Structure 1
């Protein structure tokens, strides 16, 4: 069965391979200096399927990476990867996955993507709080959101790093449906969303 451009690229080229091909040095831990912001030390984490920058929050798969790197559309980025890596594909016949029951491995990948997405959202919020509420003097009262960011940021980064490059058992443990830490983060994000909605409604009613 013929495969589409996007399927061929994602199945054939890892995010790490693309980064290295386009001149980005990736160390043994899968870390590199992020090309999307002024990065003094490696803050970009890559694995075979996607990437995440702990500095600027950039994230996505191999096509997203090349699109952002060269300021291309996703289609143009996929075509560039295919050309640069000599990939063959049929652009006229769409690739249709056969209907089948999801395997345990597929379910685990779905859980990893979901959990990673939750952590990315929370990490961005923590980073924003660190920048917005950092005390300007020792006498200034410390905002509780700044305290939360200080306490949680390193742990959230550890969880994200484990999903990206940890061993299968660690990933399964973190992404388990009833993992209490992830459930707390989901609850916290929901709480923040409700608070923001309430503030918006109050502002509109004035």
Structure 2
């Protein structure tokens, strides 16, 4: 029996509440609200053969020639209707249920199908989508771990070179900033690298969540290092500077 049409329950939300469903934590609430959020009550009425003019229409629940039903479209999309003749009221789902004399659930599914919303999917489709999503995520995490290993190992390599190139010549010598960075960061970078290596055959998702911030910082530092040519030895940088200087002199002479 259609409770909405008999007047016992005239609002779809109330229908769910009467049957004791805690909508805030149930899939039913998600599906129900999703339907309401994605259809306008005027579109529903017109879709099912009701002519609407300036928000007014003839009520489908009693015979009349002059429109007495008002359709209210609200900014929060919680649209509803009220008939000033028979005093029926409800929302888009309730209107659909009343027009076709079907249950609230059937009305929600009808709206979902007729308006192509895709809210109600069969379990096999959900499982298929979930499986495909899971595969994509695992692949992305695996790719991230491989990239993280390359990034971390490159940073460790450069830190090792800095220790060779910029080690102090005497106890009185001031520490080169790059040498200081190498002795402060090398052990930590190796620690991150070891965690990634040891976790390769385990949970890539945990590796990602546990180490993503550290690897992002290392990647950012590598970007700065390459941008400033800090990965090159002092001899290489001196050679580059000389070549640049020669080029500037040559260009100046050619003017």
Q: Give TM-score scaled by structure 1 length.
A: 0.44
Greater relative contact order structure (CA < 8 Å, 6+ sep): 1
Larger Rg: 2
Q: Give TM-score scaled by structure 2 length.
A: 0.36
